[in-house]
Homo-oligomer: A and B are copies of this chain.
Amino acid sequence: MIKQYANKAEHGYDWIDLTDPEDAELRDVAKNYNLHEALVHDCLQPGHLPKYESLEAYAFIISRVYTDIDMLEADTVQELTNKVAFFYADSFFITIHRKDQPFLNKLACLDRTKGLKNTHQLLNTVVRACLMTYEEPSNKLAKSIDYYEEQVFLNTRKIPLLKGLYYLRRKIDLLRRMLILSLDTIENIDDDRGNVNTRDTRDLYVKLTTIYDSLNDNINQLLTTYFSTSSQRTNETMRVLTIFSVFFMPLTFIVGIYGMNFKFMPELEHPLGYPLVLVVMAVITIGIYFWFKRKGWL
């Protein structure tokens, strides 16, 4: 579907928006504006990563906007983000995307009323809007980390958390990677021609990068803690094992002694032999008990 949000006569530049374009539509537009075939090909790849490519007559930009889905296990570029491609020149601005992007619609309305004076301003506004879609998931991800953190630190019941932590970590890493790959787009928008608006875009980018770096640190630290608490439970197991060994090993040895079949073992003949051995074993048990108490192992 092709929409024309702005035209040269009225606004000083054309803004063509293609939603899920058919091949013919796309080829038409490419021909009209003299767009390079390789780039048009990139437009059709749904999983293409963000990039900025500067050509002589125009620039080509791929952005990825976050798409809010509620899949716990979403962890690929295409599940978590949608591609939006731009061709940008002084005289035209072309936006191409598969899914309907409401934020472009809103910007188009804004465009009509407020009248962005040139395509550089328009590009800045659109890229800024793309970046802004990363703000909401950062809050959601922070909340998820807080939830898992509570589980790991305070919950003594063993719930299997590793899978959840894995998908959380992947989401954070993937969105962070999208931001890193957008670095040169931001650098190219806020360059020498930059103004207070492009600097705002850069500020937003720096803030988002800092937030996702911090999320990344937190999830890594949480993973470390998860494994540490898991290994700490082994300590409790070791303690029980030790207690049993230390209690029973000497006792088992003693009963072994009197299980020997020597002809001449005076203790065996003695009428109080059996009760005395039982008393000795009780004394040993009590001795070990108090030794453990003093060591703080019980």
Contacts and interface: CB of A to CB of B under 8 A. Distances in A.
Interface of A: 49, 54, 56, 114, 139, 142, 146, 149-150, 153-154, 157-158, 162-163, 165-166, 170, 173, 176-177, 180-181, 183-184, 187-188, 191-192, 196, 199-200, 203-204, 206-207, 210-211, 214, 216-218, 220-221, 223-225, 227-235, 237-242, 244-253, 255-265, 267-271, 273-274, 277, 296-297
Contact of A244 (B153, B204, B218, B245): B245
Given A256-B255, A296-B157, A268 B273 contact: no
Contact of A255 (B221, B240, B253): B253
A240 to B, nearest CB: 6
Contacts of A250: 244, 248
Contacts of A203: 183-184, 187-188
Given A253-B248, A259-B261, A158 B231 contact: no
Contact of A249 (B153, B231, B244, B267): B244
